[in-house]
Amino acid sequence: MADQPSTDFESGGETLTASPAFPTIPATKKRKPSKMFVAMQNRNFRLFWNGAFVSNIGNWMQTIAQNWLVLSLSQSPFILGLVNFIGNLPMLLFGLYGGVIADRNSRRNVLLVTQSLMLISILVMAILTFTNLINIWLIVIIVSFVGMVSAFNAPAYQTIMLDLVGKENLMNAIAMNSIQFNLSRVIGPAIAGVIVVIFGVAACFFINALSFGAVLLALFMVQIPAITTTTQKHTVTSEIRETFSFLWSNKPMLGLIASSAAFSIFVFPYLSLLSVFAKDVYRSGADSYGLLMGAVGVGAVIGGLIIARLSELEKRARFVQIGTFIMVLSLVIFSFMPIILASLPFLAIAGGAMVTVQSSVNTIVQTNVPDNMRGRIISVWQLASMGLLPIGSLLGGTAAEFIGAPMTIAVGVLIFGAITLAVFIFIPKTRYL
């Protein structure tokens, strides 16, 4: 016969015995707060998260509308790649200086300036488009300026999260930030596809300009403790040199950054090539382009939730390995899928794998560097993962012009997979990060 549960209760100094006829109900244990959303319990991070979420919805609407506008004006995947190349080139040129600025100054003040400048730039593009004065060269000028501002915005944006939540909850905050970014990837393109069809691309630009107000309001409302910074005794050049010396002595981290560079060059351009898929492969319009981008976003949100739930696990490099394998497989299958509805699940899987890899590498980088170098190290990682996008966009657009978008994506993701595999084989310590 199975053991009966204890039926003794203590009341003051007496012990009461429950009747066997009425079995007792075990005392309910207090539930611990969900670790999946622990960073959201912080008021400052919650404000920042919501502001960034609204702003990123606008940014994704801008991306859809801008790519569609360029493709409509030029009728050339090469020109589309060239515009993206020029727009992302400033990250390659100024990204390291942005890291130094983020380490030397109040990150909130840096973001207030950069976000305001981007708002003004997008508003100018909206007005030019609405008045039918826009052309490829004006687009190039505006996106170049926005790209330059973004080079100083990105390191401050990434590193302010530690200022908001502290080191203990940093990994969860990175995962939650990834969730809002990719949730906006679902919502933004879906809205943009409809708005472009009904109201035109200018409406998306106006909405994006308005959305910058949300993150600016959040930055004014957050309360960040004053951070004491030591007097700078080195030149910007010497600080950048110190950063690369640190990375050269840390081969596993250097290997992961090299993998991120391969992702930036050979894989990430597939997002802009989705417009080519919608137009030339599936013979459809901007609404289908939004659907393809939305599928990527759905998968990315799921991937972010998984990372948030598992944020306390060690050996995060394992996520990089698994995510890379899944990403390569799903994008190769997608590349040769002739039916748009059948392709959506594979894009979603690729989106989840992509955010798993990127969030894991971001966490590894931020938690394995000295605090006084965090902005600079992050700027190097962003230089690899974002700054090389101009090269990737140019290569991707050129390749798509000659061998087609499907083959371009398939070959690119296989090259990325081979490089990442080489990192884990030839730098064994990378497996244990």
Residue 361, pLDDT > 90, answer no
State what percent of residues in the chain have pLDDT above 90: 34
What does the pLDDT read at residue 273?
87
Q: Any idea which architecture 35-221+235-432 has in CATH?
A: Up-down Bundle (1.20)
What does the pLDDT read at residue 5?
42
What does the pLDDT read at residue 49?
94
Query: For residue 216, which of 48, 395, 26 has the smallest C-alpha distance?
Result: 48
Q: What is 125-166 written as a DSSP string?
A: HHHHHHTT---HHHHHHHHHHHHHHHHHHHHHHHHHHHHHH-
Listed by start position, the domains of the chain span 35-221+235-432
More confident residue, 7 or 240: 240
State what percent of residues in the chain have pLDDT above 70: 88
Residues 146-162 have a mean pLDDT of 89
Residues 21-26 have a mean pLDDT of 46
Residue 91, pLDDT > 90, answer no
- Residue 9: helix, strand or coil by DSSP? strand
In terms of average pLDDT, the best of 153-162, 182-191, 286-295 is 153-162
What does the pLDDT read at residue 117?
96
- Residue 321: helix, strand or coil by DSSP? helix
Residue 104, pLDDT > 90, answer no
Residue 266, pLDDT > 90, answer yes
In terms of average pLDDT, the best of 53-57, 152-156, 157-161, 312-316 is 53-57
Give the pair of three-digit tokens for residue 268: 């990430």
Residue 4, pLDDT > 50, answer no
68, 202, 205, 285, 305 from 196: Cα distances, Å: 9, 8, 10, 10, 30
Of 142-146, 180-184, 218-222, the poorest mean pLDDT is in: 180-184
pTM of the full structure: 0.74
Residue 92, pLDDT > 70, answer yes
What does the pLDDT read at residue 414?
96
Assess contact for 330 and 346: CB atoms under 8 A.
Answer: yes
- Residue 252: helix, strand or coil by DSSP? helix
Residue 15 banded pLDDT, cuts 50, 70, 90:
very low
Residue 121 banded pLDDT, cuts 50, 70, 90:
very high
Give the pair of three-digit tokens for residue 323: 């995510």
Mean pLDDT estimate for the chain: 83
More confident residue, 391 or 416: 416
What does the pLDDT read at residue 233?
55
More confident residue, 188 or 287: 188
User: What is the per-residue pLDDT across 35-79, written as a single tens digit (0 to 9) for each?
Assistant: 677 888 889 999 999 999 999 999 999 998 999 899 889 888 788
More confident residue, 7 or 56: 56
Residues 319-325 have a mean pLDDT of 90
Residue 225, pLDDT > 80, answer no
What does the pLDDT read at residue 318?
84
Residue 14 banded pLDDT, cuts 50, 70, 90:
very low
What does the pLDDT read at residue 10?
37
User: What is the per-residue pLDDT across 404-419, written as a single tens digit (0 to 9) for each?
Assistant: 889 999 999 999 999 9
272, 291, 331, 345, 420 from 294: Cα distances, Å: 13, 5, 15, 11, 27
What does the pLDDT read at residue 230?
47
What does the pLDDT read at residue 12?
40
